């Protein structure tokens, strides 16, 4: 199989996340697309709390090195993600390595994602000399996980979010 469609990648990511949650004692269910901005509903039977999880998956997503953003893994986001910040909402960014099908999971609180997406987009816009923001301001955004320690803007680091399955 040469090319895997986006829906298959998304489902693979969601099922992989469900398996990780089950192994950690959470009760979790996919929403099957009927709940806006939520892919998985999670119940923590020990804490008696509920959480929402949005899963973003990429396949073959190799780390990239950018002059602006450094050495990172990246996921596509939208303008709406700049403002989605809820105490019990988390994102799980899934990176599926193409050659080995090894999964990496980064669990990040929605407020961290919203702040990064907003700040990185402004940083990108500010570095487009000669063009008005109206000409280049598109609804596409990116979320990045840093693989090093030194960035021009505050960047969530892999070492702080990879496999951090504890929800607050």
pLDDT in tens, the chain (168 residues): 568 899 999 999 999 999 999 999 999 999 976 667 799 999 999 999 999 999 999 998 789 999 999 999 999 999 999 999 999 999 999 999 998 989 999 999 999 999 999 999 999 888 877 766 666 778 899 999 999 988 999 999 999 999 999 998
Q: Contact 44/28 with Cβ under 8 angstroms?
A: no
The beta-carbon contacts of 108-112 under 8 Å, at least 24 apart in sequence, are: 108/143, 108/145, 108/156, 108/161, 109/168, 110/54, 110/84, 110/85, 110/86, 111/85, 112/156
- Identify the domain containing residue 56 by its residue range: 6-161
Domains in the chain, number = 1
Q: How many CB atoms lie within 10 A of CB 161?
A: 19
3-class DSSP assignment, residue 111: helix
Residue 168 covered by a domain: no
Cα three-residue angle 152-154-159, rounded to 5 degrees:
110
Distance from C-alpha of 129 to C-alpha of 3, rounded to nearest angstrom: 37
CATH number of the domain residue 140 falls in: 3.40.1350
């Amino acid at each position: 199989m040469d090319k895997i469609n986006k829906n298959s990648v998304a489902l693979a990511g969601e099922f992989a996340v469900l398996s990780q949650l089950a192994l950690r004692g959470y009760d979790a269910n996919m929403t099957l697309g009927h709940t806006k901005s939520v892919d998985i509903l999670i119940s923590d039977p020990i804490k008696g709390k509920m959480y929402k999880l949005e899963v973003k998956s990429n396949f073959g997503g190799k780390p990239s090195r950018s002059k602006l953003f450094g050495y990172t893994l990246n996921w596509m986001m939208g303008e709406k993600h700049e403002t989605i910040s809820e105490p019990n909402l988390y994102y799980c960014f899934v990176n599926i390595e193409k050659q080995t099908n090894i999964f990496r999971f980064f669990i990040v609180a929605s407020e961290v994602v919203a702040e990064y997406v907003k700040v990185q987009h402004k940083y990108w816009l500010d570095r487009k000399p000669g063009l008005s923001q109206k000409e280049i301001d598109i609804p596409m955004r990116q979320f990045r996980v840093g693989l090093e320690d030194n960035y021009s803007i505050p960047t969530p680091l892999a070492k702080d979010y990879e496999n951090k399955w504890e929800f607050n």
